[in-house]
């Protein structure tokens, strides 16, 4: 058991789910504290039947804290995480800032739990779109070694934070009413539209979000030779990211074998019955912690190709749930 746990960014969308998960999963600690920016400091919240006052995230707030689970912007994580580690705190970090640091393990508990053993005070949780794809790739990679991946993501507006969610709701209302709406987060209307850019231009026409999927996947699976071609698209869906994934393996994996491999993997749920219109969709995967897979089929253009459809709640397994699972790994080793 940890003596003291802090949730950083406790009042945000992901931080709220982290609090809910810690309570629902009965994560034990002698003391909890909840940290946020100065805007939220002083607010009260209820956790496990007790009322807590949100504290400002200052360096001294980590004095005496054993474990912090943090969901903050990259620039905030860059500043506060070293201060927390300096004070003896282990940080499970949701931001993108530390993910590719060679000294920081990047962990999906169902995929590479052993990586937590190598931490030096910081453990990173992957990008939401990477997490669900790599969890789906893991059993196929173990069975037939994946050599190439082509993935298109259809990412919900909740992945852009509360302003993104507001843009979808208010922009849709305005569009239906024939009114103008000034978007907060998106450069173009997201209502009744798809935007084929998430993140900034980065490498040979790929965006930062797309390159995260390339670099993070290779780091988590420990295989720099996997070729990955991603396209990330923002779609007018409130929550849950969807992905169309095509993998090519060294050893052929049949549809039946793939279905069995997926079904046997912790954290994956197979919903795959095209005849009866059974497949995962954001509406039936929302507020769930698993990764859902359907439309499993052979690639008719490649002898060792396998295509499938993958949906997961980006705020839960893509963020909060994965971070809490990492904390549970640490607790088991404490």
Output the pLDDT for position 84: 97
Of the options 3.40.50.880, 3.40.50.261, 3.30.360.10, 1.20.810.10, the CATH number for the domain spanning 130-314: 3.30.360.10
pLDDT for position 334: 67
Helix axes 255-263, 128-144, angle to 10 degrees: 120
pLDDT, residue 53, reads: 96
CATH architecture of 2-126+319-333: 3-Layer(aba) Sandwich (3.40)
CA distances from 296 to 20, 39, 106, 187, 299 (A): 33, 47, 28, 35, 10
- For all residues of the chain together, what is the average pLDDT? 96
> Strand, coil or helix: what is 2?
strand
- Specify the pLDDT at position 333: 80
pLDDT at residue 294, rounded to an integer:
98
Q: What is the pLDDT of residues 33-47, one digit of tens each?
A: 999 999 999 999 999
Chain segment 120-175, per-residue pLDDT in tens: 999 999 999 999 999 999 999 999 999 999 999 999 999 998 899 999 999 999 99
Return the pLDDT at 138.
98
Sequence-distant (6+) residues with CB within 8 A of 69 are: 5, 6, 7, 8, 18, 22, 91, 92, 94, 323, 324, 327
**What is the predicted pLDDT for the residue at 205?**
96
What pLDDT, on the 0 to 100 scale, is given for residue 232? 98
Which positions are annotated as active-site residues? Answer: 128, 241
| Pick from 132, 75, 43, 80: nearest CA to 321 | 132
pLDDT over 90 (residue 219): yes
Per-residue pLDDT reduced to its tens digit, 230-240: 999 999 999 99
Q: With both helix axes pointing from N to C terminus, report the angle between 13-24 and 161-177 in degrees, rounded to the nearest 10.
A: 120
Which pLDDT score is estimated for 37? 92
Q: How far apart are the first and last CA of the chain?
A: 7
pLDDT in tens, 65-82: 999 999 999 999 999 999
pLDDT at 2 over 70: yes
Distance CA 145, CA 191 (A): 40
Q: What are phi and psi of 215, to 5 degrees?
A: -70, -40
Percent of the chain with pLDDT over 70: 99
Q: Would you kindly state where each structural domain of the chain is located, as residue ranges?
A: 2-126+319-333, 130-314
pLDDT in tens, 79-111: 999 999 999 999 999 999 999 999 999 999 999
């Amino acid at each position: 058991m940890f003596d003291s746990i802090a949730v950083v960014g406790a009042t945000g969308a992901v931080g709220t789910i982290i609090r809910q998960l810690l309570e629902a999963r009965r994560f034990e600690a002698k003391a909890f504290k909840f940290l946020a920016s100065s805007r939220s400091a002083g607010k009260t919240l209820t956790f496990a039947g007790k009322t807590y006052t949100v504290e400002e995230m200052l360096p001294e707030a980590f004095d005496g804290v054993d474990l912090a689970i943090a969901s903050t912007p990259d620039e905030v994580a860059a500043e506060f995480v070293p201060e927390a580690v300096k004070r003896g705190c282990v940080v499970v970090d949701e931001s993108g800032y530390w993910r590719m640091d060679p000294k920081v393990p990047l962990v999906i508990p169902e995929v590479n739990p052993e990586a937590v053993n190598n931490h030096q005070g910081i453990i990173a949780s992957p990008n939401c779109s990477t997490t669900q794809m790599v969890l789906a790739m893991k059993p196929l990679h173990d069975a037939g070694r994946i050599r190439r991946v082509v993935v298109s993501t259809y990412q919900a507006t909740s992945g852009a934070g509360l302003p993104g969610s507001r843009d979808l709701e208010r922009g849709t209302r305005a569009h239906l009413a024939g009114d103008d709406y000034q978007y907060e987060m998106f450069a173009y209307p997201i209502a009744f539209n798809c935007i084929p850019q998430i993140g900034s231009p980065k490498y040979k026409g790929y965006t930062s979000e797309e390159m995260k999927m390339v670099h993070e996947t290779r780091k988590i699976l420990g295989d720099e030779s996997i070729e990955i071609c991603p396209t990330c698209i923002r779609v007018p869906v409130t929550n849950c990211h969807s992905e169309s994934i095509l993998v090519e393996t060294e050893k052929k994996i049949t549809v039946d074998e793939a279905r069995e491999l997926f079904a046997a993997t912790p954290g994956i749920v197979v919903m795959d019955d095209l005849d009866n219109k059974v497949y995962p969709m954001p509406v039936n995967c929302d507020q769930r912690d698993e990764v859902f897979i359907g439309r499993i089929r052979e690639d008719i253009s490649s002898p060792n190709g396998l295509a499938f459809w993958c949906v997961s709640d980006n705020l839960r397994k893509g963020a909060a749930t994965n971070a809490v699972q990492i904390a549970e790994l640490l607790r088991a080793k404490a």
